[in-house]
Amino acid sequence: MKPFFSVVLPTYNRAHILKETISSVRNQLFEDWELIIIDDGSSDNTKQVVEQFSKKDSRIKYHYQKNSERSAARNNGINKTKGNYICFIDSDDLYEEGYLNALHKFIQKNESKKGMFFCNVSRLENGVKKKVTYEPIESYANPIEYILLSKETVIPARVCIHEEILKFNQFDETLNVSEDSELFTRVLAKYPMIQFNYYGAIYNIHNENTTNLKNNPFLGQLKSLNKIIRNKSVISFISNRTKKIKFSSCYFGIAKYHLMKKNMFLARYYLILSIVKNIQAKSTKHKLYLLWKGRIS
């Protein structure tokens, strides 16, 4: 029987925290779901951890693939799903136990529209969970600008997309940072973004996050941003102001990374690029001050 929800979970060497993520799906009040776990070439005991659940619950399915990064893992998961709506969760994030139940009711209330639904999110940091302030779509010029400019990233765990949309729109496997934003902008150029004012996802903040400064995530963000603005179906939704803000932010992040590595030449180079990209920004004076002082904060 076709489940209402398919949840795709890519994972790589996260056996030490995977139990909690799987449990957050298994403990859902709504029961009509399947969980597709794609092991992206883990060398730890990920398979054994998953089997502890899958042997007891046939809705949980494990698949191994050669390490190909998370975009490929998510696409592999999408292609194995059977549900009407596809949700995502990363191996370190969590669902609130009432999420899928509330989402199911909300989708039915919206007459099962074919679009991208997304919920509110909480942040879990140092054992403390805090709800992120609700930001309405109407605060931005359009849904694509929401994806690019919202104060809190629309992580995959917040998103649910009709399965027919993802047959023709999948993750770009050349990207491994902000690959979700790149996909979402392509989807939203064609389909509606439907905001679900419910705190259903929990974003786990820790040192292993891809977005941690030590991983220089801004370089990957820059690559994804270039993909986004080169897409003819997407670019018409993005203002010049937004492009300036995003490029300037990427360059500033790269500058901070090089400062952390004590490479002052590259730190100053990318700081200058950040200033030039958005010279009229309120932060320009502060960045010029940092440049003069030879430090970045």
pLDDT at 247: 95
- Given a contact cutoff of 8 angstroms between Cβ atoms, the answer to whether 199 and 119 are in contact is yes
* Backbone dihedral angles phi then psi of residue 39, each to the nearest 5 degrees: -85, 110
- Given a contact cutoff of 8 angstroms between Cβ atoms, the answer to whether 8 and 86 are in contact is yes
Task: Give the count of beta carbons closer than 10 Å to the beta carbon of residue 220.
Answer: 18
For the segment 45-71, what is each residue's pLDDT rounded down to a tens digit? 999 999 999 999 999 999 999 999 999
Q: Collapsing DSSP states into helix, strand and coil, what is residue 272?
A: helix
Least confident of 36-50, 212-226, 279-293: 279-293
For the segment 107-124, what is each residue's pLDDT rounded down to a tens digit? 999 887 899 999 999 999
For the segment 135-177, what is each residue's pLDDT rounded down to a tens digit? 999 999 999 999 999 999 999 999 999 999 998 999 999 999 9
* Backbone dihedral angles phi then psi of residue 50, each to the nearest 5 degrees: -65, -40
CA–CA separation, 178 and 221 (whole Å): 6
Note the Cα 61 to chain centre separation in Å: 22
User: Which residues, at least 6 apart from 112, have a Cβ–Cβ distance to it below 8 Å?
Assistant: 84
pLDDT at 189: 98
Asked if the model's pLDDT at residue 297 lies above 60, the reply is no
275 confidence band (pLDDT: 50, 70, 90): confident
User: Which residues, at least 6 apart from 208, have a Cβ–Cβ distance to it below 8 Å?
Assistant: 92
**CA distances (Å), origin 37, targets 6, 15, 41, 46, 75:** 11, 12, 12, 10, 12
What are the chain's domains? 5-205 (3.90.550.10), 213-293 (no CATH)
Is the pTM for the entire model greater than 0.85?
A: yes
Asked if the model's pLDDT at residue 127 lies above 60, the reply is yes
CA–CA separation, 85 and 107 (whole Å): 10
Asked if the model's pLDDT at residue 260 lies above 90, the reply is no
Task: Provide mean pLDDT across the span 251-275.
Answer: 90
For the segment 62-100, what is each residue's pLDDT rounded down to a tens digit? 999 999 999 999 999 999 999 999 999 999 999 999 999
pLDDT at 206: 81
